[in-house]
Structure 1
Amino acid sequence: MADTDLITKLQPRFPDVWAFHGHNMAYNISVMTNTPEERWAWVNSGISLVRDKGIRYNPNDLILCKELAFWFGHKIDGVSDDAHLYYKRQFAREWQYLLGVPPFDMKERVAWIKLIADAPDSLAALYVKSPGTKEFVEDLEKRLLPLPERFHFAPDKRFLMLFGEWAAQQTSPYAQALGLKASTGDVSSLVDVFKATFGDDTRKDQASAVVAFLRKRVLLDAYNMDPQLMYEFTRDTGPLDWRHPSAHALFWARRGSQFGEHRITNDLDIFKSINNDRLEIQAMQALARSGLISYDPFSGDNVTRLNDPRWIKVLDEYFEVLYDKHYQVRGAGADTFINLHENFMKQAVRELYRLGDIEGSQAILDKLDKLYGTGGVIPHEGYKKPIKEFVQDVLYGEFEMQPEVVRSDVYATLERGFREGLLLDNPQVLEDAIRYARDLTTYFRDSRYNDFVTRFGDGRMRDVLGLLEESIPAVLSKILLDTSQPMLDRLVIYRKAPDDVRALIYDQVKPILEREWATGRLAKTGMSFEQAFPEPPGLEDVRRAQAEIAKRRAADQQKSDGDGAERK
């Protein structure tokens, strides 16, 4: 580490030096270590070296941005590393503490990140822009003064992570089930301070303004990420969730194009631009397959990653942009994107079909036929099949080597089952969906391609899927929190859903639904949230069971940490 620090200081304007040492730490050194914690430390160090330091000295270098995009997309979001599940948990936890949970609705998500982008750059500017924030911060500082210095207020990552952990606890079913309490008197006092300031309902506006300011400063100072670009990229592409590694892959690839592409003046270097663009569209593909994140930092569970069909249109349109952009590049540069587009859109046909969007699915199939089938360079009839037959061929022809495909099919099938089966009062649809999902999950889990267990005890591919029992509540939770759907429809679905599934997700969805209910029209009818969404039977049993599971996992983790320390 010292050698790396010295060499990069001697050659700060030499991008290849930063790229070499970042890659060396993230890939070569990390795999030589013995525990997931050690691996993550080296991977994180390699990324931080380039992102936080290297790009500050070389802000317009395309290659450094491309390298970062690759590391996020391959090392963290990929499955080739034995410790990839650990990486995903740590990454999601860090960014949930930093930025919180983003809203599902696209317009709300754009507004959410814009709030951070528009935040003042300094405390002085904050005090001028947002009345009452000066008194809020002074009160906060006064309350924190008796505590150790590490808890004092400052616009830095240390303090924001403290606040973020406290904020995450307020909505965590596992934290509430475990009855998590401060381990020391100082931490207990810190929690009390946060409750009295950030938790004060009479000062919500001031607290929100201070948090937005803190997030902006930390993004700029600790992560070298411009919130204005984060806002623009969200607005111009799709619903980016910064807890997902591929959101960062997209950010850095797009940033590289925006600030570094003009420096490519030699035709022999055009491949650098093409490779960078390829990483960006691959990030969109990854977000379409797993861009919906659900994660409780205190559960010890893997990150729940659902497919997000909103990215289908984004990728389809961006393919046309890239094709036109590189059409004149020698060596058929534009054609290098065709395979990705064709394969992705084939999966989109399957996904939309499983969601029940037959019209949208057929429209994509017709487009595929026009571009690559009967209208292709080498015409064929492959896209002229009946859509049901086509979907079956695509699924069973590809899923054995692509766990993401199976998972997205399971989730899409379950989502359609909940929506149509419960909303349209057709329980057979839901029963068929659950049966299909169970059969597909069982088949894939028993596949010979997915029996590999890593040196850390994880099923490298098998655990990516998650148990079917986890998939069902995850999908119901997603549907209930989907603000693009009428509240009345979601209310009907909740009321008709099986009691045991409702009990599993009630504590998770209640805080978010309750806030939405309070500002919605249905609340004006006089019906309370508790009347609309009553606690399901068996909720206390589920809470006790979750508490026991959480205790066992905490004990297992403590034992694992102890074993890891001994190995070190």
Structure 2
Amino acid sequence: MRLRDTIICLVCVVGAVVLLTAASSRLESINSARRQMGLVSNEPLENAPPSLAFATVAMGAFRGLVVDVLWMRADKLKEKGQFFDAKQLAEWISILQPRFAAVWDVLAWNMAYNISAAIPASQWQERWRWVRNGYELLRDKGIEKNPGRIILYRALAYIFQHKIGGVTDDCHKHYKRELALAMRGLLGEEPANEYFQRLSATKKTLSEITAEPDIAEFISAIKEADKAFEDNDELIGNYLSLRQTPDRFSESAFEVIDRFRGTEALDKFDTFAKAYRLRNTWKLKPELMDRLNKKYGPYSSGDPNDRLPLNWEHANTHAIYWAELGFMIAGEKEEYSIDEKNTDRIISHALQDLYRRGNLVVYPVPGELASVYSRPDLRMFEVCDKDWAKRIKKYEAFEHGNPKGLRDGHRNFLKNSVIDFYQTGNREKAGRIYQRLREVYPRDEFKDDMHTWVKKRIVDEIEEIKIKDATELTLMTLRDAYFSFAIRADDEAFGKERWAREVYEIYQAKYSDEEWRRLNLPDFEMIRFMAFLDFMRDRHFPEHLRNSLLGRIKVERPELFDRLQKQKDLFIQKTQQNQTQ
């Protein structure tokens, strides 16, 4: 019995030795493959306490235990609201586990949301710095180390869509302005499709562009003019700064710009410098930007076959870029994960946001920060409509069923779009959308013609509101019309003015003449004056903008100015009468 046990033990030992030897012989090839695939990192743990650095090195393969302890500590710090300390721990975790995508997601969220929100809204520059730190961390480090993880593209797109493009942060207008001005400095105002094609076709490195004789002559001249351009590493950045803020450099440097102004050399280098900044700082590939313009760009109102570029000053366009890039690089062709669905939703929601608030007005104010206003961009209707149809078809195929939620959302989108175009005066386009609504969703509620349906909808809304609310609705519509006229969106302004009168008349038609006199609702001209007065007194709008409105009305609509002046006199007269009673 003992001999038998001994033999069994010996066989087991020999077998174990053989298996260990065979396994160890494969270890080098496995480690080599891991290094090639980027699944291992030997980066040193910098700026860490000696105790953490020692524990990491000493425990070797058990460094995962150190990470677990750090995670638990970071969670406790976040629960206590100590976000800055939690950020430091998360940075160490990202060094220990650079291939763990959730680390980068949590760290970026902590910066963009928790730390930024902990800073007073009055310090918007500091808030913006932390929001920027959040998306730059994902863009420059997280995705670079984990290019195959779509969750990181989704997280980056969400920061642009929600934090910058949304309205939940008190400083959201500052974020929008900073992003818009940064893009405007590289793309100009309302760039054409041809410009994106030029950005895509230009050289990618400084050595390539300076190999051209005319460019080399320009570079040599500007280096001689100012020492700030001698370092090639700083050359492109300083050139872009020179074009935007020439006071920072010597006069001789700008004289070089004047000397080469209008030449092909300066034009080519300017295009190269901006494309270089897009690629290397913003990590935006001009060729992909051009492709997305053709895929999602709005349709020209004058030519339905002409596609315009997306508004790259808007945060939602950046959200679309990173979500699309995530699908291209990290999307699964045969499977469709929850992360991919969430990324897909970001694209859909971003397109709808561009329809609702895609017209970003950056109004310059002399001596002050520019004011930012978000307006609907109705040119995005066809893009959103096609996207709805595509996603309904897509989810029908993936989920083998009827995506009722998507269909309900699409129907509501079409209904609201009919009202949007009707309000702004484009009744022909509203009619086409209404016809599509009736064809795609044949329901009894759409059996009437468009004008009847719109008026019924107004009546239904008015039935639920009181006289004060009806007056307020008319006043706010007219107030919005004044704003549109102030920023020179004249068609929109006249459409809203017409809509306000229709709302007023529909409400008035509910009552007999006797009832109307008893209600004592102000007449339309008085409401128009009150809306004008309300706009002119609103300090939310820059004084420069308000004065611009008054000047335009005096010069371009003198009949309206006379009516407003008459209502002003009546208003003063009634006020004086009330004071004497």
Normalized against structure 2, the TM-score is what? 0.62
Correspondent of 1:65 among 150, 153, 162:
153
Q: Counterpart of 1:506?
A: none
Give the corresponding residue for 2:345: 278
How many residues matched? 421
> 1:353 corresponds to which letter in structure 2?
Y
Q: Does 1:351 align with 2:420?
A: yes
Quote the residue 1:545 is aligned against: none
Is the counterpart of residue 368 in structure 1 residue 427 in structure 2?
A: no
2:245 counterpart residue number: 166
1:292 alignment counterpart:
359
Q: Which has the larger radius of gyration?
A: 2
Q: Deviations over 1:76-110 (max 9, x none)?
A: 1111111112212222222223333233xxxxx21
Q: Which residue of 1 aligns with 2:445?
A: 381
> Among residues 263, 277, 297, which one is paired with 1:218 in the alignment?
277
Q: Report the AA paired with residue 216 of structure 2.
A: K
Q: Residue 262 of structure 1: which of 309, 324, 332 is its match?
A: 332
SS in 2 for 1:329: helix
Structure 1 equivalent of residue 218 of structure 2: 136
Cα pair 1:354 1:413 within 8 Å, conserved: no
- Segments of 5+ residues of structure 2 without an aligned counterpart are 1-86, 298-308, 504-524, 558-581
SS in 1 for 2:399: coil
Q: Percent identity?
A: 25
Which of 2, 9, 18 is 2:104 aligned to? Answer: 18
Q: Trace 1:522-541 onto structure 2 (pairs within 5 A).
A: none
* TM-score, scaled to structure 1: 0.63
| Residues 138 and 46 of structure 1: CA distance in aligned 2, closer, same or farther (over 3 Å) | same
Offset at residue 471 of structure 1 (A): 8.4
Residue of structure 2 in register with 1:36 after alignment = 124
1:329 aligns with 2:398: yes
**1:90 matched to which residue of 2?**
178
C-alpha distance in 1, partners of 2:402/2:221? 59
| Kept after mapping to 2: 8 A contact 1:197/1:203 | no
CA deviation after TM superposition for structure 1 residue 30, in Å: 1.3
Call closer, same or farther: CA 1:99–1:418 in 2, change over 3 Å: closer
Task: Write the letter of the residue equivalent to 2:346.
Answer: L
- Whether the aligned pair in 2 keeps the contact of 1:60 and 1:259 (CA below 8 Å) is yes
| Residue 156 (structure 1) shift | 7.0
Distance 1:158 1:125, change over 3 A: closer
Q: Pairwise mapping of residues 402-441 of structure 1 onto structure 2 (< 5 A)?
A: 410=481, 414=485, 418=490
Q: Structure 1: which 5+ runs fail to align?
A: 104-108, 168-181, 422-427, 447-458, 477-495, 503-568
Structure 1 residues 87, 406: closer, same or farther in 2, change over 3 A? Answer: farther
Deviation (angstroms), 1:472: 10
60-69 vs 351-360, which moves further? 351-360
* 1:237 aligned residue: 296
The one-letter code of the counterpart of 1:8 is S
Aligned position for 2:141? 53
**Cα displacement string for residues 377-428 of structure 1 (whole angstroms, at most 9, x for unaligned residues):** xx3315735337517837995999x9xx97997489759984599xxxxxx9
Q: Corresponding residue for 1:5?
A: 91
For 1:277, the aligned partner's letter is: D
The 3-state SS of whatever aligns with 1:81 is coil
Deviation for aligned residue 1:72: 0.9
CA distance in 2, matches of 1:324, 1:14: 34
Q: What is the deviation of 1:468?
A: 11
Higher relative contact order (CA 8 A, sep 6+): 1
Change (3 A) 1:351 1:4: same
Give 1:135 shift: 0.8
What is the aligned-residue RMSD (CA, Å)? Answer: 4.4
Question: What is the alpha-carbon distance in structure 1 between the residues aligned to residue 282 and residue 350 of structure 2?
Answer: 20
Q: Do structure 1's residue 310 and structure 2's residue 379 form an aligned pair?
A: yes
Deviation at 1:152, TM superposition (A): 5.8
String of CA shifts for 1:339-376, please: whole Å, max 9, x gaps. 4433333332233224433221111012122333xx2x
Pair 1:202–1:470, CA change in 2 (3 A): closer
In the superposition, relative to structure 1, how do residues 156 and 222 fare at CA in structure 2: closer, same or farther (>3 Å)? farther
Whether the 8 Å contact between 1:157 and 1:222 is mirrored in structure 2 is no
Secondary structure at the residue paired with 1:303?
Answer: strand
Residue matched to 1:209: 268
**In structure 2, what is the Cα distance between the partners aligned to 1:20 and 1:221?**
25
User: For the structure 1 residues 440 and 131, does the alpha-carbon distance in structure 2 shift closer, same or farther, using more than 3 Å as the test?
Assistant: farther
Worse-matched range after superposition: 201-210 or 217-226: 201-210
